[in-house]
Amino acid sequence: MLPVILAGLIAQSIIPALGASAAHPHQDVLNAPPPGFSYRIPQGTHPWTSSAAVKTNKHKHSENVQKIRAFRGGKTNARSVAAVLGAHQRQVGGFGYQNISTTTSYGTQYAAEVTWHRQNLWLLLDTGSSDTWAVRENFKCIDYSGQVVSQGACGFGPTYRSGFQYGHVTPEQHMFIQYGDGEIVTGPMGLSDITVANITVSMQEVCLANATYWYGNNLTSGLLGLAYPSLTNAYLGSSVDHDFNTQVEYSPLFTTMVDQGLVPPIFSVAIDRNSSTGMLAWGGIAPATGADFSQVATLDLIITNLIDLPATAYEYSFYTIIPDSWQYDSVSDTRKLPYIVDSGTTLCYLPPQIAEAINNAFQPAAVYLWMYGAFFTSCNATPPRISVKLGGINFYFNPVDLIYRNMVDPLTGMCMTAIASGGSGPFILGDAFMQNAVAVFDVGEAKMRFVPREFY
C-alpha cells in the first residue's frame, strides 16, 4: 500500500496538473513538451511548507541535523543517476553519456551515519534511489564473471552482524538492484528500526544484502535511498524473480519517517565546497556557510516519463525540475528541459549543444575526450561566467567548481571540467551545482527550493 502522503500526490498526478485558468511559468513546455518527454505537475498536500517559511528560517533550527562525509575514488559514483540514465540511453541505442567515475579514479559520493537497530554504519546518501540496505556478515562477494571471491574484493566497511529486528516482511520478498555500471545487490527484506540524527523510524522495510557485485570504498556498508516509492526494488518470489510482474512497491525510509509523524515532509542537503563534509537536515533546512536565506528559488517537482520505468509516467520518482534558463558569458539558453537534482553525481550533465557551447567558452576552449566521456581543458584555464536560473534567481557557479584540478588526463596534462554532455536527457544538476546552493527537497509541497550561497 502506498504511504498516505504520497498516495494523495499520486492520485492527483493522474488528473490534469493545472486548470485552464492557472498561469504557470512553464505552461508552454507542459502543453508541448520536447520529443521523448511528458510532464505532469501535481499539487502538493502541505501548503504551510513555503518559500516564506524558508526565508524566515521557520525550519532552519531543526534538531535533526547530521554531518555527511565525502568519499572519493574507485567507482563510488557508479550508483548515481548519471550512471543509471547513461546505461539506459546506451541500451536503447542512443549515444548516452557515461558517469565520469566509471572510467576514472575521480568521483565523490556522500555518506551519513545510521544506527541500524543497535549497530552504527555509514551508508551512502542517495537522492537518486529509494532502497535502504546494508551488507550482512556472511554475504557473498561476486566478481564480474559471476564467481564467488573474498569479501574484501567488494570493498565494504563493517558488515551488519545481526538479522532483522522484527523478522522478514514475507519469506519470499527480496530486493534486487542492478546499477548503471552492472553492479548488483540482492538479498531478503525485513523490518528493523533505523535511526538517523535524533530520529528513530520504527519497523522500516530494509534489505540485508547477501550477494553483491560491488565497487566499495572500504568504509561504507550499504546505501540510504531518499527518493520516492516508485524507484524501490522489492520483488516477490525466488531470488531470480525480479521482473515488472513480480515487483512490489513499498515505503522507503523518508516516506515512512513522515508517515509516522516524526518530521515534516521536507529534508535538505548542503554540500561544502571542499567536498569533504556537508550537512543533512531531516524535517528542516540545513545550516550552510554563506547561505542567503533572503532569496529562495521555488520550482515544481515534475513527473517525467522515463521509458524503462513505467511507473514514473504517473508517479514521482527522481527529484526533477525545469530550470528557467542557462547563462554563460553574454549568452542565454531558455530551452525548457527536465533536470534531476542528484547529490550522488559529481558533474552537471547538460543538453549537448549547451554543454559544448559552455566548454568552448573556456579559455582555452575545452575539448571532448571520448575515453572519459567528458571535457578537458588547461588546468589553469579561465572558466566562463556560468549560471542556471531557477525560479527567477540566477545561481552562479564558483569558478573553482568548474575545473577539477585533481582529475588530470595523463596523456594531455589537461583537467576535467564540471560541465558534461547529457545525451538525450533527462539532464542532471550534480555536485558542481549543489556546492553553490542549499537544496531543499520539499516533498509535502511537491517543490524543490534552492537557497543561493555566497562564494566562500
> Could you confirm whether 126 is annotated as catalytic?
yes
Residue 212: in which H helix or E strand, if any? strand 199-213
Residues with Cβ within 8 Å of 422's Cβ and at least 6 positions away in sequence, in order, are: 97, 349, 350, 351, 352, 355, 428
Residue 6: in which H helix or E strand, if any? helix 4-13
Distances (CA, A) of 305 to 77, 98, 109, 171, 338: 24, 21, 26, 33, 10
Task: Evaluate whether 379 touches 405 at the Cβ level (below 8 Å).
Answer: yes
Residue 189: in which H helix or E strand, if any? strand 184-196
Which one of the listed residues 342, 401, 431, 442 is annotated catalytic?
342
Task: Evaluate whether 428 touches 323 at the Cβ level (below 8 Å).
Answer: no
Residues with Cβ within 8 Å of 180's Cβ and at least 6 positions away in sequence, in order, are: 78, 79, 80, 82, 83, 84, 85, 86, 87, 88, 99, 102
Q: For residues 49 and 51, give the distance between their C-alpha atoms in angstroms, rounded to a whole number.
A: 7
User: What's the first-to-final CA gap in the chain, in angstroms?
Assistant: 46
> Could you confirm whether 342 is annotated as catalytic?
yes
Distances (CA, A) of 206 to 142, 180, 197: 21, 21, 18
Radius of gyration for the alpha carbons in the chain, expressed in angstroms and rounded: 21
- Other beta carbons within 10 angstroms of residue 102's beta carbon come to 23
Choose among 396, 412, 411: nearest CA to 364.
412
* Residues classed as catalytic: 126, 342
